[in-house]
Each structure stands twice: as structure tokens, then as C-alpha cells.
Structure 1
Amino acid sequence: MSDSVQLADGRDLRGTADRPARPVFVLMWLAVGVDAVANLIPLPVPGSLVTVVSLLMELTFALVHGALAYRWRGILVFLALALVISNVIEDIGVLTGVPFGHYHYTDELGPKLFEVPVLIGPAYFAVGYMAWFIATILLRPVSRSGRLSTVVGTPVVASFVMVAWDLALDPSSATLRGRWVWEDGGGYFGVPLTNFLGWSLTVYLIYQLFALYLYRWGPDAAGFQRLDTGYRTMPIVAYVVVAGDYVANWLTGGHDGVPPDVTDATGHLWRAADVYESSALTAIYGMIFLALLAALRLIGQVRGPARVVRP
């Protein structure tokens, strides 16, 4: 039995400058585990600290996992696309109302790069990577000289997986916690439909440009077939952990400091319990459903012992 883990291009981590296989797996699972504790267990610490720790764990996971799948050059391309495109489009959105609708960020998320908190770009990258990898399982990986239908189709599916997260995220973070403010309100617990259309456009651009990069310079299709099934399961688990945060909030009654009733920028009154419940519903029947589909698809792709075995 092999004690190695291969990169997507077939290189063996054992005997290279990279870390040995076992510490890499331990590091990724540790990041997912700490994120699970931060998201699923009510802790007697400020919510802002929980957010930072959770994001750091998700960033660590996405960078290490992505480096194994796409090499460091590939995952850094994805990181750069996520940081630049998200900040540019969100800055345009804050200044003009296009494409998300009229909104602005408060100081709840800390320092800003222009009009957008510094934490926003890394969040696009970290959860965006999970959504991307799930889409590659649901369809097929985008690879060098692969099918053009996959080069376009995978980014579209990934954008839906990513926006499923925002369906759970936005009402709680904006309407209840005041991290950003929808100035004209909206029908979805104070959030407008245009927000989700804007998210779809933003993340699709990130994914489409990354897919074009992979089509030209990424690993070949055979490289992905050598990836261990347990390794490919990790982004699904990490995505479920993110979804679990909203279920946990509903079960525990939400965040400290949020009153039972909240008024949005238009004066509309929302019950906090209703918002938490709706976020849990979208997390279960949106995010967790997509993760379940990916897991079942992955099980169906297992065809015997001819693949790399994890430690």
C-alpha cells in the first residue's frame, strides 16, 4: 500500500520540497475541525473573533488543498482572481448600486480596502474554492485541453453552489448583525434579489477566468483521476461545516446582542427568529443538498483500488 499523495499533475509529495503526505492531510483536517468548532459550538468569545478564526481556517484549507490539486501557481491564480474581482465589483457596487443594489459596509468587519472590508475578498476565495471543487465533482474537473462544455458549464454550476451560501449568509449578516446595510431594503428578509444576481455575476467571472486558465495551463484530466477519494471529499465536508453555522444559529437562538425584532434601513420590522430559521432552511435544502449530491456523485466515481491511497 502506498504512503504517498500525488499532485494533480502526478508528482509525488514524498521526496519533494513539499511537506510529506501525512502532515498535509493532518493540516487540512485540523483546519476543517477548528472551523467546525468555531461554527457549530457556541463559544464565550466575541463574534468578530470567531469570524476571523473561522476565515483563517477556511483560507488555510483552501490554499493547501488547492495547491495539491492545481499546484501553487494555480491556486495563487485563483486567489488573485477572487481578491481582485470581488473587491473591484463590490467597490463599484457600493459606489453605484450596480450590480448588487444600493448598500454600504459598516465598520463591523474591520479595516476596508477602499469601500470594502479586507475580510471580504478572502471569504470569496475560501468558500468560493469549496464551491468550485464541488462543481468539479458534480460535472467534471476543468483540465488542460479538456471539453469546452466543461470550461463553461463548471463555472456556471460553481456560481450556483456559491450563491447558495449567500442565501443563508446575507439576511443574518446584514439585516440582523448590521455588517452591511441594504439602503432600499428587499423582500428576502431585507435583502434584494439584485444582490444574488450580482453575486452570481461576480463569482461566475472569477470561475470562468480560472477555468480558462486551467484549460490552457492546468493539469491534465488523468491527474485528477489519481487524486485520493478522501482528499476529494474534504471540500464537501468543509462546505457542510460552513452550512452548519446557520443551522447551529437557529438551534441556539442566534448571536448574542441581536434583539428579538430588528428594523432594516427602510423601517421594516423583521423577527430575528424568522431570519435564523430561513437561513437554516436554505443551508439545509440548498448548501447541504448540493454537498449531498456531490458526495453521492463521488461515491459513484469510485471504481476500485487503482487510485492513490491516503495515509
Structure 2
Amino acid sequence: MEFLDLLLKTVVLRPYVFVFLAVFLFLAGRLIGWRRTGYFMGITFIVAFLCEFSSTHTGIPFGWYHYTGSTVGEELYMLNVPFMDSLSFPFLLYASYCMALAFLLPAESMENRSPRINLIRMGFPLTARTGWPVMLLTILFFTYLDIVIDPVTLRGERWFLGRIYYYPDPGTHFGVPIANYIGWAVVAFLSLGAYLPLDRKFLQTGLSPAPLVTRRVLLGCGLYYGVLIFNLAITFWIGESLMGITGLFIYLPITVLLGLRLLGRLPAQA
């Protein structure tokens, strides 16, 4: 009963986390099927928790940081790590995966398309969605997202997150150590390194039908931008204009390139 009570308190305290999580489950289930979604979520959650627990005790892989425990009794913890923190990694990684897919999945030539159809039509072959290019680009998008997320969460006492953690030695990027971003890349590498080989072994069932792949990948990209906009909005709301403008400048070229890719203006595989 105590577990269920703390879980309910966590949902009430962190509704935005569970909204993003629910969106992820719905979208991933439609693109990659429920079996793959379950493995994706389970693997990423476990890897994230182990890495967070390790960092708070050894400094590896995120560097040294500590949870304050200020919300103990108000939300669910796993040992010394807030449950909602590790739970955020699966939907952040999935959204980053969809961003990589949007750039790297093979697409039909625009020359053979009706002029009324403006967006490219992506395929969803196994080799393309599980290859090294997708893995590396996913890691990049995942780490880029934390460049916006971590500086504002570090200032959680100025908004409804609360001051839940701190770095004993503040870093150079708005107080965030570079080691933290390396840690995010490690979590993505380990999670995808475990999930993608499983995807190759599964039967090719439960996947999105070809005509819907583009739409469902773009919905995953929408989740990515939803998280991004949420964090940028909080950043400007608490008065950190320089942080917010930095985040906007980071994502402006990415957004332009994504638009060009979707309109068939960038080179695409046949």
C-alpha cells in the first residue's frame, strides 16, 4: 500500500512526466509494436537507473552529483534515485530515435510522387532502423536535448520541479559539468546497444504499415519538440534568457534541416 500511495503521489507531483510517458507508449506501440516498446522502455529504464545510482556513488558515468532527498515521502524513490527521473529516459530516447529515423530512413524519390503530396514517404527496413548511423545520430539528438534540459532542471527550486539534485563541483555550461552530457551519451549507447540487436532478432510483425511510417515517425519527432518546447518555456519563464536563446540557436539549424529532409530537399536513400 505504501508503494501505491507513493506512486500516486508521484503522478500528482510530476504529471508532465507521465503525460510524456503516456504519449511515448502510444506512439511507440503504433510504430514499432508493443513488444518492442516494452523492451525499449524496460532496457532504457534499467540502464538509466543503474547509471544514475552509479554516478551518485562513484561519479561514473555522469560525473559526481547528489540527490537532495527533499521530496522523500512526497514521491517514489528507488534507493536514492527519484523514480520519475529514470522513468524519463525511455521517452526521451525514443523521441531522439524518431529524430534520427526522420533523417536516415530511406525514402521514395520525389520525382515519382503526386504534386499534391509534399512530404517524403519513408520506408522502415530493418537494416536502416537498427544500423550504426541511426544509433549514433540518436545518441547525438539525445545528448543535445539534455543540453537544454539539465541547466533548467538544475534550477528546479525556481519552478515546480524543486531542488532535487546538485553538483558538488558546478560545471562550465550554466553550472552543468561536461561529464553529465558524456553520461547521457553512455546511457543512450548502452540502451540502444541492447535494444537494437533484439529488434533484429524479432519477427517482422507488429510494425507500422509502410504508408503510415512517415506520419508515425513524425509524431515521435513531435514528442521530441514537445519536450524541448516545455523545457525552453520553463527556461524563459524563470528569467534565464541567455540559456533559452542558446537552446533556440542550437535547434534552429536542426529544425531547418529536418524541414528540408521532409520536403525532399536533402539527399535521401532510394
**Fold shared, TM-score > 0.5 on shorter chain:** yes
Q: Does 1:99 align with 2:61?
A: yes
Q: Aligned residue for 2:104?
A: 139
Equivalent position amino acid for 1:128 in 2: L
Identify which of 215, 240, 243 aligns with 2:200: 215
In 2, Cα distance between the equivalents of 1:201 and 1:153?
A: 16
In 2, Cα distance between the equivalents of 1:214 and 1:169?
A: 29
In 1, Cα distance between the equivalents of 2:196 and 2:146?
A: 22
Structure 1 unmatched runs, 5+: 1-47, 255-272, 302-311
In 1, Cα distance between the equivalents of 2:233 and 2:13?
A: 15
Q: Aligned residue for 2:114?
A: none
Q: Does 1:166 align with 2:146?
A: yes
Measured after TM superposition, the shift of residue 86 of structure 1 is 0.4
Asked if 2 retains the 8 angstrom alpha-carbon contact of 1:243 and 1:287, the reply is no
Identify which of 46, 52, 57 aligns with 2:14: 52
Query: How many residues of Structure 1 are paired with residues of Structure 2 in the alignment?
Result: 230
Identify which of 278, 286, 290 aligns with 2:254: 290
In 1, Cα distance between the equivalents of 2:30 and 2:70?
A: 34
Asked if 2 retains the 8 angstrom alpha-carbon contact of 1:142 and 1:151, the reply is no
What does 1:114-129 correspond to in 2, within 5 Å? 114-129=79-94
TM-score norm. by structure 1 comes to 0.66
Q: Does 1:232 align with 2:217?
A: yes
In 1, Cα distance between the equivalents of 2:251 and 2:83?
A: 25
Equivalent position amino acid for 1:137 in 2: A
Q: Aligned residue for 1:200?
A: 185
Q: Aligned residue for 1:32?
A: none
What does 1:1-311 correspond to in 2, within 5 Å? 52-108=14-70, 110-140=75-105, 143-144=125-126, 146=127, 151-175=131-155, 177=157, 178-217=163-202, 219=204, 225-252=210-237, 254=238, 273=239, 276-287=240-251, 289-300=253-264
The 3-state SS of whatever aligns with 2:194 is helix
In 2, Cα distance between the equivalents of 1:297 and 1:142?
A: 16
Equivalent position amino acid for 1:151 in 2: G
Greater relative contact order: 1 or 2 (C-alpha under 8 angstroms, separation 6 or more)? 2
> What's the Cα RMSD here?
2.7
Measured after TM superposition, the shift of residue 62 of structure 1 is 0.8
Distance 1:213 1:282, change over 3 A: farther
Percent of residue pairs bearing the same amino acid type: 20
Distance 1:243 1:237, change over 3 A: same
Asked if 2 retains the 8 angstrom alpha-carbon contact of 1:66 and 1:72, the reply is yes
Equivalent position amino acid for 2:221 in 1: I
Distance 1:72 1:117, change over 3 A: same
TM-score norm. by structure 2 comes to 0.75
Asked if 2 retains the 8 angstrom alpha-carbon contact of 1:169 and 1:279, the reply is no
Measured after TM superposition, the shift of residue 81 of structure 1 is 0.7
Distance 1:168 1:147, change over 3 A: closer
In 1, Cα distance between the equivalents of 2:98 and 2:32?
A: 11
Which aligned segments of 4 or more residues in structure 1 are displaced greater than 4 angstroms?
48-51
Equivalent position amino acid for 2:168 in 1: E
Asked if 2 retains the 8 angstrom alpha-carbon contact of 1:67 and 1:75, the reply is yes
Equivalent position amino acid for 2:19 in 1: M
Distance 1:80 1:282, change over 3 A: farther
Distance 1:114 1:173, change over 3 A: same
